[in-house]
Every structure is written in structure tokens, then in C-alpha cells.
Structure 1
Amino acid sequence: MGTIDVERLRSAVKSTIDNANQDLRKGINQALHEHPETAYEEEFAHTTITKFLEDRGFNVKRSTYGLATSFEAETGSSGRLVVICAEYDALPQIGHACGHNLIATSSIATFLGAAAALKQSGASGRLRLLGTPAEEGGGGKAKLIDAGAFNDASAAIMAHPMPKNQLSNESNGWSGLAAMKMIASHKFHTEFRGKTAHAANEPWNGVNALDAAVAAYSSIGLLRQQIKPDERIHAVIEVGGTVPNVIPDYTRMNWNVRSPTIAGADKLLSRVKANIEAAATATGCELNYITAPTYSNMIANKSLCNTYVSEMSAIGEKVLLWREKPVTASTDMGNVSQVVPSFHGAFGIPTAPDVALHNPRFAAAASTDEAHEVCLQCAKGMAMLVMQVLLDDELASNARGDFEHDKDW
């Protein structure tokens, strides 16, 4: 970074995040964990985070880009732009079982640390903390992309918690992962419409929408035998009828179809739809699809990941650069990685050995002091990654080159 004093910047990042520790713990982390909200309903989180930032002197725009629970805070002028993504939605019934309270905390801490370092440097550069609602199925970032939230960005960054035991053991000591690659996912609902009738007195006059849902679910269960090991198909019946002596005239199912790439997901989706449509035909039901934004596979940027590993090493953290096989889960950050150089890392939080994401016990782990401290360590590394992108012309150029020419890494 030329004549820029890197150690001075690291010191500014560390002191700023350390000084904000308790405010972040109580005002963001715990507050969001105690008030879980699902996709596009994150009113408490939106109000809490925007007020937290306003109280610290930042200019904040609320309900941005046409989304009621999105927000934007910016600092700096001219120069390159880095977007820091904050997630804060929760899962139905099991709350922050994906740890989005920690994601919000780490992203806000990153913004605070990088803003302080940028001010101290006196250099040009722009930071944008972007509130990205509805990661859990609603595709908030896909809508934000369409609305222009990532236009002109040199990089977009965030990190996700995961159980530390999935990363680390006594021999390797990894505390995090830089390249958290994920797979593509098609998300949609199906509605089957039939005809109601008394199930005992005149069943022949009914068209059973529950039979269509069951037939679709069962045939997809057989299809799973013929799909690739890194592909996934999931479905639940959200509406299945009311009482057993009334033939259901309406059912609704929720589906995820995943494959490592969009091309693979498209092919698998066509096979899934063939089974769904066969079920509708066999039962005589009408079929309707309700589609949601597709989640693209996550493209890891080599230059950004290498820089993050180096910065985490500078503060004593041992971070794994990458894994050959992607995580068989999906994120709308994958959509962002298709349009701008992106970093989506992972930090490991302490859990029991048998605890995984999307589990109530992971939600409990995401509220601990230990998890909070880990997410702030990650924030220190991400804040310095931000500063490197803003101030180091070579890194910014290399990250763009990776994005344009090395997407298979």
C-alpha cells in the first residue's frame, strides 16, 4: 500500500472494534438474537441497526432500494467503493439458527473499524454498509442487485458463522475459512388445486390435491437415487388440508433444488418439474408455480481470500484458505459474486460436536460470549481487507482480474 502505514491502520481497526465491543454485544448481537424476525419482516433489526449507526454520527438511509427493511450507511468520498453486507433475518420457529445476529455484528464492526482507519489514513475511498434482508429464502441481495446497490463496487464482503468443529481439530487449529464456496439453488412453491368433497359419502366427486402433493413428494424421493452426490432436492408440504373427512382441494409445497452450478441446477430443476407435473396430471389437479429469486453458486475471489488469510494471520488467527468441495448450502451472496469481486468467509464458533447450522442448538451457540468474540476477530480481518482493497491498487486490480478470468478457483 505504498507509503501507507499498515500497522497504524491495524491499530486503528483493533482499537475501534475493541472499544465498541460491549455496545455491539448488547446493542446489536443480543438485541437481534432476542428478537428474531423472518424474511422482509426485520423491522426491529432495521430500526435497531440504523439507530446504532446514527448515534455514532453516520449518515444512514432507511428503507433503501425499494425494500422496507434494507438500509445503507456510507462514509468516505471519491475513490474505490467496498460494500459490506449485513444480514439479520432469522428462520421460522428456530430463530437465529444460522447466526445472522453474528453476521450483522461482524459486518457492523467491520464498517466501524474500516471507517476509523480510512479517516486516519486521509486517503480517498468509500465504504458502504448495506443492510441485506431476507437471505433465508427471500433473495434480498438479488433484489438489491437489480436495484443498483452494488453498482461501481470494487468488492463486496461478509462472513458467516459455522460450527468450529466442522473446521478445526487438534491437529490443524483452523479458526475460520476464507473461501466459503456454496452451490446454486432454485427456490419455488407449488400449488395443487382440486375439488373438495365428503371423503366418506362421495369421494368419487372429489379431486384430491393432497394426493398430488404426496405423489410429487414420493416421486422426488425416488429421483434422489439418480442425482449426483453434491446435488440436493428438499420439499415440505406447507398446506395439506384441514380434516380427514374432507378431500382437500388445495395444497402448497415449498421446494429447493440445488446443484454446484446454475447450469446443473437448471438441468435438475427440469427433472424435478417433470415429476411434479406428472403428479398433477395423474390426480387431475391444476398446478401453479410460485417462483422466488434463484441463488447462484458462490464464486470465491482468490486475491481477496489470500489477503484475508494474511490479515487474520497478522492478528494471530489461523484461517484455512479454501476447500476443494463447496459447502452443499446456498446463499444469495452467490448472486453478488456473479456481478462484483466478492469475499464470503466463515468463522468457527464453539458448539457441541453434533451441532450443525439450522438447529436450535446452533441458535443458542450464536448468543454466547465466545461466539461474539470470534465474530469480532473476523471483523478485524475483514476491516483490513476493506482497507487493502481501497488503498492497494494492485490488489484491487488482481481482484478484478480474478473475477473476470478465474471464476473456477
Structure 2
Amino acid sequence: MKITRYIASVVVLLSLSTTMLGQQGEVVDKIIGKVDDKIILKSELEQAYLQFLSSPNALQFDGDARCFLLKDMVESKVMLAMAEIDSVIIDDARVDYDIQGRAQQIMQRFGSEDAIRQAYGKSLDQIMEELRPDIEQQLLIQQQERDIVADVTVTPNEVRKLYNNIPKDSLPLYSTEYEVGMIVKQPEVDNDEIEQLKKKLLGIRERILKGESFEIMATLNSDGPTSANGGNLGFNQRGTMDPAYEAAALSLKPGEISMPFESSFGVHITQLIEKRGNEYNSRHIILIPKPSQKDVQEAVQYLDSLREQIIAEKITFEEAAKQYSDDESTSVNGGFMSGQFGSLRVPANGLDPELYFEIDKMKEGEISKATTVQVSADDQVARIIYFKKRIAPHRANLNEDYEKLKAATIQMKKSQKRQEYLQDKMKEVYIEVAPEYNRCGIINNQ
């Protein structure tokens, strides 16, 4: 399953690489597989093979990798054919969202539109438009697979049966695990700081209105990761950006620059570049407020007061975390960190080193006093830690590891149902594989 997920993750890269190789005339391609009217090219297999060799999965794999990859490609084409037969539909908004995510990954990889043009001879928008059919097909395949296994459930008896069928000396050995909770408080920046940033942005806005380049001013002044790209955010779907930012951008006419405004990320000015249907293209300059030491100390005092209430049993740790913690990733779990399969137990190597050394000095059941944590070069938060329990190394058992065993049972049933589905549907569709790959036994699997 890990390798299958890996293959799916390189679809866009393969499409890019194959397109460029074809343009340069370096590959004499041929069809090596057919599933109904869908084809598999030799270049696709070879590109997948090269990507596989450079991945960590190659070190764990023992077998004919080309056969494995080709079999997976055939199975994906079967899934695609069945998705079309079953009239599976992917909403355009879902496709647009995925394209946006892929475009951001490409932009992060190359750093700028100019670098992308130099590498591919076309704009990012042109590249994503060419990749759109591949992304749509990938999403169709994923949806078809989800639909196939959507009703898979397991009973406690099935989990117990799986556990009992594993030889005791073959049960997984789990290292030391921890149940650790935290409540985080983000310092609230003084209003004077916000007003100073707005004043600075007003000055920058005036300079732009007088003729200076927005992009140059963004590069020189913006705190955001887009500063290196002149503050450009590219096209975004309505409803995907911070609501305050989107409201400000969409209230403008193309070319207009907003007055300074606040969002959950900082203080901005934005310029609307273009509206296109349900999308809009904009750029911005953001200044991120930096809390003073007084602001940080007030956050520490707030958490120390909350800790006293927890110790006095006026509120439980879990309730306090859900109500007051600024860390969304843990507050939903009552402050507790989550491990594999949704378990609230985290292995030692899954803990941040600083957090690990903190709990190493604590006793089980203890709640620490509030301390500050440096989360970035200019950003501190206050935090209290609840060291609930330490679980010693042990072999898997039903009492302590039920959720992990349940997840393994579900995954096994899903894999089995997927394989049974493929074996059945491969008898219904036309499949042809080039003779040089007969060794792979793909047709024989029917």
C-alpha cells in the first residue's frame, strides 16, 4: 500500500517529465499496455521506474519493480474505466482545489514564475491546464477506490481473530509511548503595534500609488513567504483564502489597492489583478505583528492561572484545552497529541525534542507550569504540558493496542476487497500487455 500511494503521488511529476522528454525528442515511445481505450506508454513506465529508484521505497522492495509498477498502472486504468462506466463525477471545485495545491508545490519548488518559464518554456497556468486531465483522472481513480471500500467495517470479534491468528513472537513490538497533552496560548499583540503596522502599510501604499512597483515593495517589505515572488498569490478559488483577505480583495476593481486591513495572519494591503469566473488573482504585502515581552508574559500568567484551576479540579485539563488552547491540532483531542491510527499515544521519536526533554523531568500525572516556546525566529507562545502516562515497550496486545489492531484489520479488509474487485473487473475489460512484460503475469491474473 505504501508503494501504491507513492506511485499516485508522482503522477503530476511524470506528466511533466514525459511532456518535456517528448518535446526534446529524446524518447522514442511505444504503447506497452492497453485497458479498453486507455493506453500505457513505455516512457511512463520508465519515468515511474526512475522515480521509484530514487525513493526510500526502493530500499524496502524485493522483486521486479517494473512489473510491480506496470501492474499498478494497469489496475489504475481498470479503476478509471470502471469509474467512467459507473458515472463517477468529480466536482469542478474539487479539481480546481487540487490543481491549486499542485501549482503551489511547483511554485515552491522553482521559486518564481520566471524560473518555471525557463525550465518548461511556458507559464504555470499553461502547465496546470495541460495537467488538468491527468489530475482529473487521478481524482476519479481515488474516488472509485474510496467508493469500493466505503462500507468496510470491522467488529471487535474480527480484530480479536486477527490478533489470535498472529504468532505471539510475530506480534509487532512497540517502543516506549507517551500520552501527552498541552494547552497553548498565543500572545495577544497590543493594539498600538497593529496601528503602527497599518501606518507603515499606508506609507507603502502611497509610494505604490505614486508609481513605485507593488512587487518590488512586497519583496522589500512583506513578511510573508510570497515576498520573494513579489507578493503574488496567483489565482485562488473563492472560499479558499482567509475570509478577511478574500473580502478585501474581492471588494476591489482590477488594479486597485486596498487600505490596510487585518486577517488571521497579519496586517495586509492587497491589489486585485484579475477576476475570472469563480477565481481571482491578487498580490499582497503582509506585516506580521510581533508580540512584546509584556504580551508574552501575560500569556504565561494566563496559563498559570488556568493550571491552578485544573489542579483545583474546577475544570478538567481536557475541557480547558478544548475551550482555551490556541493549538487547533491538539485542542480537538482535549489537548492530547495524536499518534498512529488516531491513537492518543505517541512514540518517543514522534515527540519534539524540546517537549521530550520537558516531560523527561516530569512525573506521570503532573501538569507543568507555563513556559515559553520559540516557534519561529520572531514568534513565541506560552504552553503548559500534561504528562499523563508513559507506556513501556511491549508486544502488541488487545488491551493496550486495540485501536492499532483495529486499524490494521480495517486496512487488511480494504486491501482484500480492492483486490477482489480488480480481479472481477479485469475479466470485464479488454487488457493487453506487450509480450516483453509477459513475465509480470498481469494477464494471467485474470
**Do the structures match in fold with TM over 0.5?**
no
TM-score using structure 1 length = 0.24
With CA pairs under 8 Å and 6+ residues apart, which has the higher RCO, 1 or 2? 1
Structure label with greater radius of gyration: 2
- Tell me which protein shows more helix as a share of its residues: 2
TM-score using structure 2 length = 0.22
